[in-house]
Structure formats: structure tokens, C-alpha cells
Amino acid sequence: MSTITVLGAGAMGTALCKPFVDAGWQVHLWGTWLDDHLLDAIEAGQPHPRIKVAAAPGITTFRSGRLAEALAGADVVDIAVTSEGLPKVTEMALDHIGDIGDLRALCLTAKGFWTDPEGKIRLLPEAIRAIAARKGVSLPPLVAIGGPVKANECAAGEVTATTYASTDLAVAEALAREAATETYGIRPSDDETGVELCAALKNVYAIALGIADGLGEATGVPRHNLKAASFAQAVREMSLLVARAGGHAETPYGLAGVGDLEVTGLSGRNKLYGVRLGKGEGPDEALAEMNRLEQTVEGYPAAPLAVAFAHQFGAGEEELPLLHTVATILKGGVEDVYGAVAAAVKPVRP
């Protein structure tokens, strides 16, 4: 029996446990120092506070002080914390991963960007590799687990199609075969850059989709056309930037891009944040309320980093107008969000 250790007992980390349990794996779930109340609910058999679904039975839970125990004997490790928490959790995990003899893969469900010590914006796999190099730890192949996955549906065993990407395609393919179930389908890919970049960008673009919905709720006038135009523009911009960054231009037109943006734009946390903006709340006011509800809005910190990342590859506002518009809205001071988003998604601009 293979063992996976999931680091982070939040929504996605807990959800990922379900298919691995169903596939016959032994599953260890380690909670960070912020996750005790989540583990309390899991251990009591109660619904997870963030996804309102009970965790899969058979999971072995570990509190933050038991990281070494959680990692012992693991064949695969998955990092499932926020992008802000990833560097610290990676540092902690690498202190023990070097002691695991045959670790087959280090997976990543955390999504976002990382600023290196020189100020360059990088994707999270690069952060892990840089931290490992600094600590002198040899890493197994990295596997980026992309969308589209809504955590509560995955945790409930509903049909889910996802993407596992690695520069070592054979590792992604093998893991896909061993983790797939009747309801959890996995498409392997060799486009780590494309899958990771789509996963980070779709959180930003989902805010624009939410703004369209919020405008409709606030006025009683549907903004479906605006949302559709925003969706199409988002996919176009993702494809352009993925290609510039060295990924496959077609990746955003598959599960990792169109699929993940669709599910996030329907009811994800970033979309819900955008709805608040569309209904007239200020960016900081809306974020404070989302934080109070323990609903992480990854797109908020990702937006300015995405703009900086794009600039590193020579992509500016003219090529990525919607990305820049969302980032500007989140800074505050944009009174007419409807007009701003509309201007960004017009196919031909006066």
C-alpha cells in the first residue's frame, strides 16, 4: 500500500485525501499551526468547517508538531497550503524529506507566485527548487496538480477531472494511473509551467467574472455578456502569457485553463470576492469580510505579482488588459468597475 502525506488541512488538502483513500492509498493529513480547529472537526467526524463536507474516513491526522511522523514512510508528499505559507512549510518539510529514502514525487496543490531574494517573480515549483538547493536537499520529481477541482465536490466523491503535470511525464502518468478512481479522473501533462501559471492566473481572472455577476445582482440587470467576454479574454491572455513563459500555448484551452476558470468563475472564493466588488464594496473591505469567513482569496495577492511576472516576459497592459484592469481595481480608486472591465474586454478598442 502506497502512502501519501498531505501538508495542509484546509479545503483543498482535505479534499485531495478522498480520491487517494478511494484508490487504496494510506493517507496522512498534517495540519499547520493554523489548522487545529480544522483537525478537531475532521477527527470528530464533523463536516470540514470550510467545505461543509466530512473528510474521507481512514485518514490519519497529525498536528503541526508531528511533521516528522506525518512524513515518515511517505511515497508521495503533497504541499496544500496557501502561496504565502508555502516557503515556510517547504523549509520545514525539507528538513525531513531528505530522510525519506524512496520518495517518488513531491506534489503541489498550492497555487500562486513567489518573490525570490533578488525580487524576481517566480512560479511555486521554482520556489521549492530554490529552497531545496539552498538547503542542499535533493528533490524527487515535482508534480503540479491543477484544476478544475472544487474542493467540496471532490471531498464528497463527485465526478472530478484534474491535471497532473511534471517535467518528467512518466512520473505524472504513473501517479495518474495509481490515484485515479471511478469519479476522479486525471490527465497527465508535461507542461508544468502552463498548468502552474493557469492555476495562479485563473484566481485573478475569476475576480473579473465575479464582478460581472455582482453588477447584475446590484442592478437587477444581468451582465452575462460582460462575463462571457471576460471569460474569453482571460483565456486568450493566459495562453499568451503561458507561451511567453515557456509553456504550451494550448494548455489554457484545456482542463487547467478553461476548465479551472469555469469552475472558479461559477462559485469559487475569488469569484465571490469579485461579486462583492461588483456590488459596490471596496477591495479592502471585501477582503476583510472574506478573511473573517476563512475564505482565502488567492487572486488578491496574486494580481500584482502576475502583472510583474508578465512584465518579466515583455507582456504589458496592451497585451493583457484584463489582467492589468483587475490589478488596478484591487488597488482601490476605480469608481466605475463596470466601465473598467468593459473597456478591457472589448475586441476592438477605440
- Here the CATH number for the domain that contains residue 222 is 1.10.1040.10
| pLDDT value at residue 260 | 96
290 in any annotated domain: yes
Q: Are strands 105-108 and 142-146 parallel, antiparallel or unpaired?
A: parallel
Q: Indicate the residue among 165, 190, 215 that finishes a domain.
A: 190
Does pLDDT of 62 surpass 90? yes
Of the listed ranges 43-57, 180-194, 289-303, the one predicted with least confidence: 289-303
Q: Does one domain contain both 220 and 246? A: yes
Phi, psi of 86, deg, nearest 5: -60, -45
Contacts of 76 (CB under 8 A, 6+ apart): 2, 3, 4, 5, 103, 104, 105, 106, 107, 175
295 against 233, higher pLDDT: 233
Q: Are residues 175 and 240 in the same domain?
A: no
131 and 107 in one domain?
yes
Model pTM score: 0.93
Question: Can you give the CATH number for the domain in which 71 is found?
Answer: 3.40.50.720
Residue 327 lies in a domain: yes
Residues 161 and 237 in one domain: no
User: Does residue 321 have a cis peptide bond before it, meaning omega lies within 30 degrees of 0?
Assistant: no
- Is pLDDT above 80 for 61? yes
Rounded average pLDDT over 223-227? 96
Question: How far, in Å, CA of 294 to CA of 290, rounded?
Answer: 6
pLDDT at position 52 over 70: yes
**Position 25 in a domain:** yes
- The C-alpha cell 494510506 sits at 26
- Same-domain check for residues 173 and 205: no
Residue 108: is its pLDDT beyond 90?
Answer: yes
Domain boundary, last residue among 139, 168, 190:
190
Domain containing 10 equals 3-190
pLDDT above 90 (res 348): no
- Same domain? 290 vs 182: no
Share of the chain above pLDDT 70, in %: 99
Same domain for 100 and 117, yes or no, is yes
From 137, 159, 190, the end of a domain falls on 190
pLDDT above 70 for 350: no
For strand 142-146 and strand 160-165, is the pairing parallel, antiparallel, or unpaired? Answer: antiparallel
Going by pLDDT thresholds of 50, 70 and 90, the confidence category of residue 268 is confident
Is the pLDDT confidence value at 181 over 70?
A: yes
Nearest to 186 by CA among 203, 206, 166, 167: 166
Q: Does one domain contain both 269 and 233?
A: yes
Indicate if 150 and 210 belong to the same structural domain.
no
Assess whether pLDDT exceeds 70 at residue 311: yes
Structure confidence at residue 98 (pLDDT): 74
DSSP 56: P
Residues above pLDDT 90, as percent of the chain = 92
Q: Pick the range with the lowest mean pLDDT from 96-105, 128-137, 284-293.
A: 96-105
Task: Pick the catalytic residue from 150, 202, 227, 271.
Answer: 202
Number of structural domains (the chain) is 2
- pLDDT of 349 higher than 80: no
Mean pLDDT of the chain: 95
Active site residue 202: yes
Mean of pLDDT values over 259-276: 93
Residue 350 forms part of a structural domain = no
